[in-house]
C-alpha cells in the first residue's frame, strides 16, 4: 500500500464518520474489526483480533463491547476456555460494513487514489489498515509529509484529513509541544491562519509511519482455477 491510498481511505472514512449519529459512530479500528470478521470464514477469538490490531486486551474488550452493544457482532464464550471470548459478525454488522464501505468509496474525490475502486475493495483496504493504529496526531504528521516542503494552515490540514477543526487544532498543539511541528503565524487571525510545518524530528517520525504503511499488504481476491486450453486438432 502506498501513502496516497492510505490517506484517501482515512480521509474519506473520517468524513463519513462525522455524518453518522454520535451514538452509532465507529472508530476506524472498529470498522476494521467488522471488515476482518466479515472476511473471516469462522468466528475469531478476541485475543486473535487484539493480535491483528496490535492492541492490549482491555482496549480490544472496549472495542468489541461497543460493537456488540450496537448489535454488529455476536460474542460467545470459547468452547474450551471460557476466558476466550469468540466474536462473529452479525447480519446487521454485514449490512453496516457494506453501507460504510460504499459511503467511504463515494467520499473519495475523482482523481485521488482509489477513486474508481469498489466498495468490496475498500473493505479489504480497511481490513489491512486496521493493523496499523494511527492517532489524529499521526495523521497530521502524514498530512504534512504529503505536502512535501510546503507548510499548511490548520484549515488546509482539516481538508486534507477530513477531521474536525478542533481535533486538528488540539493535535497540532500537542505536536508543537513535542517538537514535531512548528508554527509561523500569518497575520492577526490567530491559530486558524497559522502556517504549520514539520520539524526535522517530525519529518523523521512521518517517514517511519510511511514505511509502516508501505509494509501493509492488501489481500487480493483469490482467482479461480485457470481453465484448460482446448485441444486443437
Predicted confidence at residue 186, as pLDDT, reads: 56
Domain end position, chosen among 129, 159, 194: 129
Among the three residues 100, 129, 158, which one is the final residue of a domain in this structure? 129
- Please tell me whether residues 164 and 85 are part of one structural domain: no
Q: Please say whether the beta carbons of 197 and 144 come within 8 A.
A: yes
228: in domain: no
56 and 146: one domain?
no
The predicted-structure confidence for 159-193, as pLDDT tens digits, reads as follows 999 999 999 999 999 999 999 999 876 555 554 46
59: in domain: yes
Quote the pLDDT of residue 187.
Answer: 53
- pLDDT at residue 191, rounded to an integer: 47
Check whether residue 84 and residue 178 sit in a common domain: no
Domain that holds residue 110: 3-129
In this prediction the pTM is 0.87
The partner residues of 197 in beta bridges, in order of sequence, read: 182
Alpha-carbon span 9 to 108, nearest angstrom: 7
Same domain, 8 and 80: yes
How high is the pLDDT of residue 76?
A: 87
Residues 13 and 124 in one domain: yes
Same structural domain for residues 174 and 103? no
Contact assessment for residue 31 and residue 93, using Cβ atoms and an 8 Å cutoff: no
Q: Which of 129, 145, 179 is the last residue of a domain?
A: 129
Give pLDDT, residue 77: 73
227 assigned to some structural domain: no
The pLDDT assigned to 41 comes to 84
Q: Indicate whether 113 and 184 sit together in one domain.
A: no
112/198 same-domain check: no
Q: Are residues 32 and 144 in the same domain?
A: no
The confidence score (pLDDT) of residue 84 equals 75
pLDDT for position 29: 98
225, part of any domain? no
DSSP H stretches of helix in 22-162: 28-39, 46-53, 57-69, 91-106, 119-129, 136-146, 154-161
Per-residue pLDDT, 229? 44
Q: In what order do the strands lie in the sheet with 73-77?
A: 44-45, 85-89, 73-77
Contact between 210 and 3 under an 8 Å Cβ cutoff? The reply is yes
Regions of the chain short of the pLDDT cut 70: 78-83, 185-193, 221-233
Number of Cβ within a 10 Å radius of residue 168: 24
- In CATH, what number is assigned to the domain containing residue 176? 1.10.10.10
How far is residue 50 from each of residues 56, 95, 184, measured CA to CA in Å? 6, 23, 41
**111 and 143 assigned to the same domain:** no
Question: Grid coordinates standing for 30?
Answer: 472498529
**Count of domains in the chain?**
2
pLDDT of the residue at 184:
76
What does the pLDDT read at residue 194?
A: 72
68's grid cell: 456488540
Residues 97 and 42 placed together within one structural domain of the fold:
yes
Amino acid at each position: 500500500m502506498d501513502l496516497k491510498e492510505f490517506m484517501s481511505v482515512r480521509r474519506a472514512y473520517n468524513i463519513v464518520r462525522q455524518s453518522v449519529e454520535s451514538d452509532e459512530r465507529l472508530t476506524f479500528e472498529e470498522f476494521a474489526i467488522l471488515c476482518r470478521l466479515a472476511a473471516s470464514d469462522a468466528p475469531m477469538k478476541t485475543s486473535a483480533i487484539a493480535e491483528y490490531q496490535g492492541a492490549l486486551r482491555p482496549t480490544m474488550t472496549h472495542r468489541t463491547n461497543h460493537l456488540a452493544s450496537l448489535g454488529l457482532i455476536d460474542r460467545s464464550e470459547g468452547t474450551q476456555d471460557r476466558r476466550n471470548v469468540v466474536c462473529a459478525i452479525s447480519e446487521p454488522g454485514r449490512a453496516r460494513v457494506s453501507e460504510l464501505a460504499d459511503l467511504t468509496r463515494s467520499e473519495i474525490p475523482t482523481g485521488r487514489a482509489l477513486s474508481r475502486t469498489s466498495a468490496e475493495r475498500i473493505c479489504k483496504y480497511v481490513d489491512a489498515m486496521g493493523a496499523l493504529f494511527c492517532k489524529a496526531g499521526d495523521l497530521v504528521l502524514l498530512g504534512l509529509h504529503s505536502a512535501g516542503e510546503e507548510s499548511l494552515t490548520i484549515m488546509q490540514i482539516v481538508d486534507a484529513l477530513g477531521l474536525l477543526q478542533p481535533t486538528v487544532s488540539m493535535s497540532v498543539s500537542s505536536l508543537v509541544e513535542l517538537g514535531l511541528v512548528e508554527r509561523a503565524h500569518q497575520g492577526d487571525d490567530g491559530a486558524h491562519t497559522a502556517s504549520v510545518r514539520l520539524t526535522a524530528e517530525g519529518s523523521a517520525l512521518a517517514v517511519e509511519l510511511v514505511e509502516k504503511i508501505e509494509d501493509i499488504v492488501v489481500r487480493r481476491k483469490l482467482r479461480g482455477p485457470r481453465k484448460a486450453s482446448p485441444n486443437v486438432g
